Amino acid sequence: MERKYNDYVAKQMERVQEEWLIFLSVEKGASPHTVSNYRRDVQKYCAFQEAHGIEQCDQITESSIDDFLASLSEAKDGPAAAPSSVARALAAIRSFHKYALREGLSTQDPSAHVRVPQVGEHLPKALTVEQVEALLEAAGSGDDPRSLRDRALLETLYATGARVSEAVSMAIDDLDLNEELPIIRLFGKGRKERLVPLGSMAKQALEAYLVRARPFFSSKGKGCPNVFLNNRGGALSRQSAWDIIQRAATRAQLEVPVSPHTLRHSFATHLLEGGANIRDVQELLGHSSVSTTQIYTKVTIATLKEMYRTAHPRAQLDPSDITTSASQSQ
């Protein structure tokens, strides 16, 4: 009897994990990517607590959470976790304990007052318009299926600011290329849907790919509905998209780091520099908060100066004119 009780206690956190992950997926509607990351973070967290003699949620303290987060930042058996990874782990831990408390599986939430680690801004720098054009040209200028696909993918990423996961999961039914300004449907974090216009160059590249290249890839598969296909006719993976961009960056001889997120960042920055309203850019990027867009886009100081110069009523006045006018009126 005692042994069964000990086994029950030892598996308590494991059971809470399983129920919490189902809750995230089914009731909260979290994406598979988020659920996978949270599962990995909390499994590591629970293993750390168990290694220190803690077997139940009620035994965990704020101090033991701090110890776990410190172990991530000061890893001795591998590379230390990035600040953003530590912050994500804490978000997962908070969600885990909040669920356990609400469901009566724990009598306390030790994570409630744990301080969120400060995360530095490690956003990719935007490419210049000239660098983007060089990258797109290098992606594919030929008529072979691979070149047409790669060019269409990069044109789509830059034209829409889509996350790479959104682009590779896009289905044929998500495209409407018949309008003068075509629209594509993207599904962002939490499967939130948004509609994004598509420029003429991206439309042309997509149409060329759909007509002259996609049937070639599709013939090798089993009717995958995704727009972008791999050499076996299945959905193009995020890793494959990353490889395509790296090859294009190498051919374009760009001497700056380039990733799919670089094109998203460039999309937002170039829109803002062209005079777009930040609220509109927020909608296009699929951000739930405009503050995220403000941090993400990092409006250049040159843009801010130009905005101030043209918008502020006293920015371009000549002080001598003010003095002369005042003297004449006396």
Catalytic residue among 189, 212, 238, 251: 189
Using CA atoms, how far apart are residues 113 and 58, in angstroms rounded to an integer? 16
Cβ atoms 38, 24 nearer than 8 A: yes
- Residue 63 CB neighbour total at 10 angstroms: 10
Cβ atoms 235, 229 nearer than 8 A: yes
Q: Specify whether 296 is catalytic.
A: yes
Helix 32-51 to helix 12-22 angle, to the nearest 10 degrees? 170
Q: Which amino acid is at 89?
A: A
Q: Specify whether 261 is catalytic.
A: yes
Residue 47 half-sphere exposure, CB side, CA atoms within 13 Å?
8
Catalytic residue among 149, 151, 214, 264: 264
Catalytic residue among 39, 251, 261, 298: 261
- Residue 93 CB neighbour total at 10 angstroms: 22
The torsion angle over the Cα atoms of residues 274, 279, 283 and 288, rounded to 10 degrees, is 140
Given the DSSP bridges, would you call strands 183-187 and 193-197 parallel, antiparallel or unpaired? antiparallel
Using CA atoms, how far apart are residues 195 and 244, in angstroms rounded to an integer? 25
Q: Specify whether 287 is catalytic.
A: yes
Using CA atoms, how far apart are residues 123 and 295, in angstroms rounded to an integer? 9
Q: Which amino acid is at 244?
A: I
Which DSSP category does 274 fall into? T
Q: Specify whether 158 is catalytic.
A: no
Give the closest residue to 114 by CA, choosing from 98, 102, 128, 129: 98
Catalytic residue among 38, 99, 209, 296: 296
Extract the tokens encoding 76. Answer: 């001795």
Catalytic residue among 88, 151, 214, 287: 287
Catalytic residue among 97, 149, 163, 265: 163
Using CA atoms, how far apart are residues 306 and 241, in angstroms rounded to an integer? 36
The torsion angle over the Cα atoms of residues 23, 25, 26 and 31, rounded to 10 degrees, is 150
**Residue corresponding to tokens 């987060």:** 69
Q: Which residues are designated catalytic? A: 163, 189, 261, 264, 287, 296
